[in-house]
Chain A
Amino acid sequence: MKALRADFWSGLALGGLGAYIIVVASRWEYMGQDGPGPGFFPLWYGIVMAVLSLMLMVSSVTNKGTNAIDWSGARSAFVAWAAFSVMVASLPLVGFVIGFAALTLFIVLVMYRKPLKVALITAVALSAGFYLIFPLALGVKLP
């Protein structure tokens, strides 16, 4: 993706956030008898955010010479993030030890294309290590 488009879309997203902050903050008290209300500060940074987002969008359209953004490795990152999210979702069902072992197995086997034996040993060893260090040695509760 070209930086131009990336800046445009990130500006649009942040502009949306700025607009949301303005709308929500304007419902809260701006200035009361005791001084500024809960809406005072958010309203101002919401306005500044909206203005700056607009500036980012405009400059992304007018600056033709912007460098392209390097998206190499993005696929790996998104796959890893999805796997991490699946692990988080599975925590209430399988617990950390099994969920983390499955995540490690996936990363080593699928993402780094290591042999199944290496992946299994790594997954089991890391999971066991976490179990030994955190709940057993340090008394830290695992999810």
Chain B
Amino acid sequence: MDVLAGLMQGFGVALQPLNLLWCFVGVVLGTVIGVMPGLGPPATIAMLLPLTFLMNPASAIIMLAGIYYGAKYGGSTTSILLNVPGESASVATCIDGYEMAKKGRAGAALGIAAIASFIAGTVGVLGLMLIAPPLARVSLAFSSPEYFALMALGLAMVVLLGGESMVKALLATLVGLWLAGIGTDLFSQTSRFTFGRMELLSGIDFVVVAIGIFAIGEVLANMHERGGAQAIPVPRGVRNLLPTMQDMKDSRFAFVNGSVIGFFIGVLPGAGSTIASFISYGVEKAVSKHPEKFGHGAVEGVAAPEGANNSETGGALVPMLTLGIPGSGTTAVLLAALVLWGFKPGPLFISENPAMFWGLVASMYIGNVMLLILNLPLVPLFAQVLRAPVYVLYPVILGISVVGVYSTSGSLFDVWLLAGFGLLGYLMRKLDFPSAPLVLGLVLGGAMERALRQSLMMSDGHLSILVSRPVSAVMLSLAVLILLIPLFGKFNAWRLKALK
């Protein structure tokens, strides 16, 4: 009953004309950046974050979330037409999607991708709606030791699946923790790691780091690309984009598989939509009566990963909203957005901000419908985005990044930091250091240190408090086990296989 009442309240918020408009803007923008190889949702959301300070927070989160799940729809377009994933979550779609397109079935592939995305995206929101409120109630019993353990577990999961080298992922996390520690310590008023600069006393703004690492780093990494790849033409007319009844019948299990696997993998910090889509693809192939068709244009091979990467979005929002623990770079930026607008994601978020939470949930139902309606007839139009010259796109991203950072703080020092973090983001990509653990370390660093210090204050300095309470003991044990996985050959082989 609570859920129904909440949902009604949410639709009251999401159906306001202004919020409908921002939802539309978000999903269209998300689809466009999903189509564009190289520019992902974290970079786009980070760049637009400063501009959202001009908006009402409910409209802003509706728009930013629209970008997040809209990009998942758009990502399939380039995978199918170009064999180039618009974003990493659509890599699995390339395998059968491009094969279908080469056989003249591009329309059906795009159509089934849109339908699977819609079904699974809706199931993901349903899961978010049903699981988030009870999880928030359970986590109300958590105190500082449990919070510290939970954050440690979240970071360990991100490190586990952050990249091939867990040492590098862990080092990136530690750099994030260090960046979070720069500024004035609120417990003792000691200035830490400020290098004598007044500008650093209040710490490094998350926006500067996120835009630098994601947006500037991405532009630098793609600067040598010249674009102009030849895409397979999209058939005109909605009728040519509709899958056949046989396609729908063949994909019925893939819809369920993608929805369920995507959601539950989304809830786990660190796993992300790329892994969700590959696991879903693997399961689909494993249970298929015709596994030999996979890799040669099987329609289920498109439906399963596309469903999983959309359902994952709903799952990923569960720990972010109810525990304040983001599981990926994009949810870390969304979490930072909520904090910057003055909210505190965590167990009390839903009860203190019902209009915001339920408005977001309702907007995701609406956004998924908008995306289905937009994606079927407008795929040929979205495919035109691939023709946008990169020599125009990249200066625009650099310009928005500078304006975004400067508008937040009015400080040229921050613009210099932006340049520095841009170079760091580029070098991390080249040297194979994952960026998500760094951003998560930065987002969680302050809260993690606070929770640890509060725990030790509760226990007069005894670290045993972290292991004497059952919940924190279990979570910390899991975190340690996860970090020790490279020592166990079989588990590490599984991890590396999942990553590849």
Provide the residues of chain B in CB contact with A42, threshold 8 Å: 178, 181, 192-193
B425 to chain A, nearest CB (A): 10
Alpha-carbon separation in the docked complex, A25 to B224 (Å): 41
User: Are A126 and B412 in contact, with the CB atoms below 8 A?
Assistant: no
List residues 12-61 of chain A with CB under 8 A from any CB of chain B.
14, 17-18, 21, 24-25, 28-29, 31-32, 34-38, 40-42, 45-46, 48-49, 52-53, 55-56, 59
Which A residues fall within an 8 A CB radius of B?
A: 3, 6-7, 10, 14, 17-18, 21, 24-25, 28-29, 31-32, 34-38, 40-42, 45-46, 48-49, 52-53, 55-56, 59, 69-77, 80-81, 84-85, 87-88, 91-92, 96, 100, 103-104, 107-108, 111-112, 114, 122, 126, 130, 134, 138-143
User: Are A34 and B423 in contact, with the CB atoms below 8 A?
Assistant: no
Alpha-carbon separation in the docked complex, A20 to B437 (Å): 21
User: Are B178 and A100 in contact, with the CB atoms below 8 A?
Assistant: no
Which 10 pairs show the lowest CB-CB distances between chains A and B?
A: A73-B224, A35-B457, A112-B391, A77-B220, A38-B185, A104-B395, A76-B224, A38-B190, A76-B223, A41-B449
User: Are B430 and A71 in contact, with the CB atoms below 8 A?
Assistant: yes
User: Are A126 and B395 in contact, with the CB atoms below 8 A?
Assistant: yes
| Additional 19 contacts, C-beta under 8 A, given A21-B178, A80-B219, A122-B395 | A10-B431, A17-B175, A35-B453, A38-B190, A42-B178, A42-B181, A45-B174, A52-B171, A53-B171, A69-B432, A72-B224, A77-B223, A88-B415, A88-B416, A100-B398, A108-B395, A130-B403, A139-B54, A142-B403
Alpha-carbon separation in the docked complex, A32 to B175 (Å): 26
Alpha-carbon separation in the docked complex, A127 to B27 (Å): 27
Chain B interface size, under 10 / 10 to 19 / 20 to 34 / 35 or more: 35 or more
List residues 130-183 of chain B with CB under 8 A from any CB of chain A.
165, 167-168, 170-171, 174-175, 177-178, 181
Provide the residues of chain A in CB contact with B101, threshold 8 Å: none
User: Are A10 and B419 in contact, with the CB atoms below 8 A?
Assistant: no
Alpha-carbon separation in the docked complex, A108 to B415 (Å): 22
User: Are A142 and B406 in contact, with the CB atoms below 8 A?
Assistant: yes
Beyond A88-B412, A126-B392, A141-B410, whether A81 also contacts B422 by CB under 8 A is yes
User: Are A143 and B416 in contact, with the CB atoms below 8 A?
Assistant: no
User: Are A34 and B174 in contact, with the CB atoms below 8 A?
Assistant: no
User: Are A143 and B415 in contact, with the CB atoms below 8 A?
Assistant: yes
User: Are B456 and A35 in contact, with the CB atoms below 8 A?
Assistant: yes
- Residue of A25, A80, A100 near B220 (CB, 8 A) is A80
- Residue of A36, A52, A69, A72 near B461 (CB, 8 A) is A36
List residues 392-407 of chain B with CB under 8 A from any CB of chain A.
392, 394-396, 398-399, 402-403, 406-407
User: Are B426 and A77 in contact, with the CB atoms below 8 A?
Assistant: yes
Chain B minimum-CB-distance residue to A83: B398
